[in-house]
Structure formats: structure tokens, C-alpha cells
Homo-oligomer: A and B are copies of this chain.
Amino acid sequence: MTAIVNVFLKEGVLDPQGKAAHHALDSLGFEGVSDVRIGKQIVIKLDTDDKSKAEAEVKEMCETLLANTVIEDYTIEIV
């Protein structure tokens, strides 16, 4: 199974990478952009075929390693 994990800075946490991209897009003449936020997408290939087990395991991976839950939120999708 494949788990797709999206890790994003929480609302209200400054996103300098997104701000830099927004500014660069403005400089390049792209108008009508009101906000840019940049997060991580982590694709994990798992050996298991048990969806609920996979989801629980990936949640633990997020809590212990993949996301900094003080400033980041994450979503998990199993496909």
C-alpha cells in the first residue's frame, strides 16, 4: 500500500518559503495570487495490505518523525 502524507505549517505560523515564492511570482508578473503556502508531501510505500494497520502505523510515523506537531498539521491518505 502507499500512504500519502501532507505536512503543512499550521494556520498562523509564518511560512517564509511560501512568502518567498509569492514574492517571486509577483516579480515575474503573475497577478491575482493572494496566498502561497508550501508544505511537504511524503509518499511512503508499505509492505502491508491491511489499510487500518497502515493508517495507524503512518500516524505514529508522523507523530514521532515526519511532522513537528507543535507547528505543523498533517493529513494521511492510504491508496
Chain copies in the assembly? 2
Give the A interface residue count (CB, 8 A).
Answer: 31
Contact A40:B42 (CB < 8 A) given known A24-B65, A32-B47, A47-B32: no
| Closest Cβ–Cβ distance, residue A13 to chain B (whole Å) | 14
Say yes or no for A71: interface residue by CB 8 A criterion.
no
B28 and A36 contacting across the interface, CB-CB below 8 Å: no
Q: Would you mind naming 9 contact pairs between A and B with Cβ atoms under 8 Å apart?
A: A6-B41, A25-B61, A33-B44, A33-B47, A35-B44, A36-B43, A36-B44, A38-B43, A39-B42
A interface residues, Cβ below 8 angstroms from B: 6, 8, 18, 21, 24-25, 28, 30, 32-48, 57, 60-61, 64-66
